[in-house]
């Protein structure tokens, strides 16, 4: 991807010092080479301190009564909502809903907006590179309603084929659901163009920003998207907290997806009136300390600067492509580094991904193997599994070198010629 304006490079030693897990040996004594941030990112001290600080000094339930702690923790939670609003440049914090993660957020859109708006015969457009979280909820909805799933065409090098966009996005399209950054190919998709195409036929667009949020500055107004989701844990925040951004007019019109406490204004014997936004979509006790951790994580990446993080990861991606390509039998899937984020998925001829993963892991190198929750994509790639290396702010060229050395050692061990 473009690294934008020239910025001072980040102080990688200072960054790495922030992540306790990177500074202690693994149980087998090896240095941890963490190349699995696409699955979940490690947590900096600042996030850990914020979570512990919440539990140790002001933890209580939120939005319940007016106790000193209750008020303080409720204010802190709402301050995080405002922080997320600013991070996404949403026009109101009422458009920011806390969920447990991207998966739940996408299911909320399907269960609430989808059931209310998609009719039999309508079409839901997805892409071949979607994570199952942005595919199966639409399949469930389509089955229930009698709607149809359509795929946008993809080029051989793993980009959406925009020249054939109108084959899939038509007057029958009700919804376009697309990832901003593929969790396997690394492809960065042109969200604004897709939003324009969806809106031109009266459809809405849902963006899965689970992979892009830690790497690309995201402006929901500039992108002109209707819904956008992400998970805190890929952005250096704790697990269990995620975000659903929704355009206010849609959220106002949608029924609540789940019922329970906090999402009601009044409850009668046989009916209820929902609470105003955002509470309407937040049934039950939210992940409180996790949300506080998300606020600290947003501060953390904002302090470093997403532009600087993107430039750092882009340089690593270019370097890793160069190094990996020189290995015999290694095939990288997806576009060139100029068109992708810091994710590199590959296979090595003659070696099962599982075996490579095992041998790398023994040397302290954490990557991921398998279909990465993208079975339809792997079918198109013609392989059952790939190895994926994915970068975070803390990775270095030495990590890439360790991966290359680890792969060379694995080749020897597997007696590949
Ligand atoms: N979408 C993409 C592109 C992902 O990579 C992931 C997780 O790997 C998800 C959605 C699901 O995220 P979560 O499991 O945090 O809900």
Q: Per-residue pLDDT tens for 240-297?
A: 999 999 999 999 999 999 999 999 999 999 999 999 999 999 999 999 999 999 999 9
Task: Dump pLDDT digits (tens) for 333-375.
Answer: 999 999 999 999 999 999 999 999 999 999 999 999 999 999 9
Pocket test for ligand 1, best of 373, 390, 391, 392 (most atoms within 8 A of CB): 373
Region at 267 (left for phi over 0; alpha for psi -120 to 50; beta for the rest):
beta
Strand 365-366, strand 33-34: pairing: parallel
Predicted TM-score (pTM) of the model is 0.96
| pLDDT reading at 79 higher than 50 | yes
Q: Could you tell me where the beta strands, DSSP code E, fall in 270-327?
A: 272-274
- Residue 2 clears pLDDT 60, i.e. is over it: no
Structure tokens at 238: 């704790």
Residues with CB under 6 A from ligand 1: 101-103, 131, 133-134, 179, 183, 208, 210-211, 231
pLDDT at 1: 40
Q: How far is the CA of 72 from the centre of ligand 1 (A)?
A: 32
Ligand 1 midpoint to CA 120 (Å): 28
Residue with CA at minimum distance from ligand 1 atom 14: 103
Catalytic: which of 33, 88, 220, 373? Answer: 373
CA distances from 39 to 184, 368, 369 (A): 11, 8, 11
Report the percentage of the chain scoring pLDDT > 90: 96
Residue 99 β-bridge partners: 242
Separation of alpha carbons 243 and 268, rounded Å: 30
Block residue for tokens 């609540």: 256
Is residue 181 a contact partner of residue 189, using CB atoms and an 8 Å limit?
yes
Residue 54 a catalytic site member: no
For the chain, first and last CA: distance in Å?
35
List phi, psi (to 5°) of 297. Answer: -65, -40
Reported as a pLDDT band with limits 50, 70 and 90, residue 7 is low
- The predicted-structure confidence for 175-214, as pLDDT tens digits, reads as follows 999 999 999 999 999 999 999 999 999 999 999 999 999 9
pLDDT higher than 50, residue 313? yes
What is the band of 66 on the pLDDT scale with cuts at 50, 70, 90? confident
To the nearest whole number, what is the mean pLDDT of the chain? 95
Q: Which pLDDT value is given to residue 9?
A: 83
For residue 297, give both structure tokens: 């994580």
Distance 352 CA to ligand 1 centre (A): 24
């Amino acid at each position: 991807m473009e690294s934008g304006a020239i910025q001072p490079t980040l102080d990688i030693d200072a960054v790495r010092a922030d992540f306790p897990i990177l500074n202690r040996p693994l149980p087998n004594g090896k240095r941890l080479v963490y190349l699995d941030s696409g699955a979940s990112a490690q947590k900096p001290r600042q996030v850990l301190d914020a979570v512990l600080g919440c539990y140790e000094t002001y933890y209580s339930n939120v939005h319940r009564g007016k106790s000193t702690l209750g008020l303080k923790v409720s204010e802190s939670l709402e301050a995080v909502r405002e922080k997320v609003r600013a991070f996404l440049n949403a026009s109101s914090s009422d458009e920011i809903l806390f969920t447990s993660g991207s998966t739940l957020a996408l299911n909320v859109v399907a269960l609430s907006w989808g059931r209310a708006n998609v009719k039999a015969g309508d079409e839901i457009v997805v892409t071949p590179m979607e994570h199952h979280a942005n595919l199966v909820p639409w399949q469930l909805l389509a089955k229930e309603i009698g709607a149809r799933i359509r795929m946008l065409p993809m080029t051989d090098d793993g980009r959406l084929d925009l020249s054939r966009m109108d084959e899939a996005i038509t007057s029958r399209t009700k919804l376009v659901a697309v990832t901003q950054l593929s969790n396997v190919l690394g492809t960065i998709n042109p969200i604004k163009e897709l939003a324009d195409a969806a809106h031109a036929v009266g459809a809405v667009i849902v963006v899965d920003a689970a992979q892009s949020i830690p790497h690309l500055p995201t402006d929901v107004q500039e992108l002109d998207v209707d819904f956008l989701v992400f998970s805190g844990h890929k952005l250096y925040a704790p697990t269990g907290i995620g975000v659903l951004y929704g355009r206010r007019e849609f959220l106002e019109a949608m029924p609540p997806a789940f019922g329970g406490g906090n999402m009601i204004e009044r409850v009668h014997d046989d009916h209820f009136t929902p609470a105003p936004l955002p509470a309407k979509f937040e049934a039950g006790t939210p992940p409180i300390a996790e949300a506080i951790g998300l606020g600290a994580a947003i501060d953390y990446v904002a302090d470093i600067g997403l532009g600087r993080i993107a430039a750092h990861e882009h340089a690593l991606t270019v370097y890793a492509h160069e190094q990996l390509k020189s290995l015999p039998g290694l095939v990288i899937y997806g576009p060139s580094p100029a068109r992708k984020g810091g994710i590199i998925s590959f296979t090595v001829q003659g070696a099962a991904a599982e075996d490579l993963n095992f041998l790398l892991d023994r040397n302290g190198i954490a990557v991921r193997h398998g279909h990465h929750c993208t079975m339809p994509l792997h079918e198109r790639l013609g392989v059952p599994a790939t190895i994926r290396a994915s970068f975070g702010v803390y990775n270095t060229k030495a990590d890439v070198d360790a991966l290359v050395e680890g792969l060379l050692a694995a080749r020897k061990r597997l007696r590949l010629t």
